[in-house]
Every structure is written in C-alpha cells, then in structure tokens.
Amino acid sequence: MFKKVLVSFSLAAALAACGPSQQPAPGEPAQQPPAAVAPAPAPAAPSAADQELAKLKAENRKLEREQKQLAAAQAQAAATPPPAPVCQDCGVIASITPVKKAGEAGWAGTLGGAAAGGLAGNQFGKGKGKTAMTVVGVLGGALAGREVEKQVTSSTAYQVVVNMEAGGQRSVTVASAEGLAQGTRVHVNGNSVQPY
C-alpha cells in the first residue's frame, strides 16, 4: 500500500509540474481553450480576368487622353486661318531703268538732208568749185539728215524688274513708266505691268 501511495504521489507531483489539470474540478464549469486568432488572409493573387480588366481600363484612359489631344489640335487648326494663295503673276517693283532705243533712218531723212546740203553747198564757190561744194553739201546733208532722223525717231523705254510673290524676278520692258515706282505692287501680264 505504501507503494500505491508513493506512485499516486509521484503521479500527482508530475502532473503538478506539467501544469494545471485539464480536467475541471468537480463543481467547476469546464474551461474552454482560448480561441485561436485567425491569421490575416494573405492577399489573393490577381486572377487573369482582373489583369485583363486592368489592361482594358489603362487602354481606355490612354484613348481618352489621345482623343482630348486630337480635339485640341482640331480646335487650334480651325482657329488658324488657311494661308492666302500665292499670286503667280503678282509682285513688287524692285527697280525701273530707262533704256534709250535708237531710232531708224529712212529715205525721208537722207533725201531731205541731201537736198538741204546741196542747196547750202551751191551757195559757195564759183565754177567747178561751186559744183564740188554742191556735191559735198549733198553728201554731208544726206549724212546729217540720216542722223537727225535717227534722233527724231529714237525713244525711251523702261526696263522694270519685279520681285515676284511666288519667288524669283521678272524683267519687263515697257514704253511708259507712268504710275510705276519702286515698291509699287504690280500684276505682270506678258509684256505689260499694271499697278493694283
């Protein structure tokens, strides 16, 4: 019996060393073990559908930005007037240079000068000298009449250089420079220049 008490005592000491008894004492309510704290759920990996949805949303935002930029560019283009068409025959006079055109001698000046020279030469000398002076007068008068006719029929033309709006220069010779001056805006039509 002593052995039984010793074993019971040893067993009780061992149990006491291990901790409180799991069995409730008579008359005590059963103790519930402390509730385990549930671990926080780990973030779920995005599914393929969620990834596709995120891509679509990103593309939609990108398209909206591009549409706004396009609308702004169109509004700016509508506000800017188109450039005026360039006139191919219009320009500004750069310079006007008078050009003397030599006249032409015809029979009228030659014959008239010969007659006048012959009459003048006939007034000088006697005999054969008078005849020689008449011949010299006729020849000199013919040459002089020819030169006079050239001077009378000569004219002045005007070489007009125009800086064209389309680029480059055009040079036109006109008979009169009336109404034209350097810096005047003109329309060039063939060999004529008209201010506008």
pLDDT in tens, 121-130: 778 777 788 7
Q: Quote the radius of gyration of the chain (alpha carbons, Å).
A: 62
Token code pair at residue 166: 């389309």
Contacts of 54 (CB under 8 A, 6+ apart): 46
Q: In the chain, which stretches have pLDDT less than 50?
A: 21
pLDDT of residue 194: 87
Q: Strand locations in the chain, DSSP E? A: 90-101, 155-164, 169-174, 185-189, 192-195
pLDDT of residue 50: 87
